[in-house]
Structure 1
């Protein structure tokens, strides 16, 4: 009937829009591509729903903050750049501390090795003297 044809047309139009929406979300949020949640009850359904809803909110937020012009004026972008800069500085400081800590440990090892080497030389000299004395006595 013409009514069924019109109904099917509008339903298919909604399906296409829905598929496009899901495609956009999956394009931006790769975690949705592999959303494999073992839904064994209400908690699984809630978890999957929360995951999808979170991605939708993040997608909407990102769209609102996208600026095709000068992105450096965007507050969200600037805070992201500042965060990355701060993290790099923290990482640089951490690496410097790690290098200093490694150098200190190496110095202790070197000093320990020198002490052990000196002890070994003393032991070697002692054994050598005892052997020579023993050889003198037994000849």
Structure 2
């Protein structure tokens, strides 16, 4: 097993593991995205690796999508206005899934919300009931 030379203090990286080759590697984050005081998470949305940045800009959630693994090309796919949340809740909002033009989000483990990409609106999923299919609730 060969490790990439990525051990310089101050360097930021995402560690990857290739299941076929059984090798570790590193992936650079989006340029200028890592702030020591930031709040990030890695999620999979619609089959793509995404980096979620909740702190780069006030009351905004930026979702960076890895478009090209080989060339380590990230694209800021969504910049979601998070005025519906207070600053102390914002860092706990995590995207869970992307389906049919909507980003499903867990808001501080208290509610499920979704962001409608076309309408650019956040909606709470109050109508969910036990046993309801989540896909049908997003329509």
The answer to which structure has the higher helix fraction is 1
Q: TM-score per shorter chain, which class?
A: under 0.3
Richer in strand (by share): 2
Who wins on radius of gyration, i.e. which is larger? Answer: 1
Structure 1 length normalisation: TM-score? 0.21
Kindly indicate whether structure 1 or structure 2 has the higher relative contact order, using CA contacts under 8 Å at least 6 residues apart: 2
What is the TM-score of this pair, normalised by structure 2? 0.21
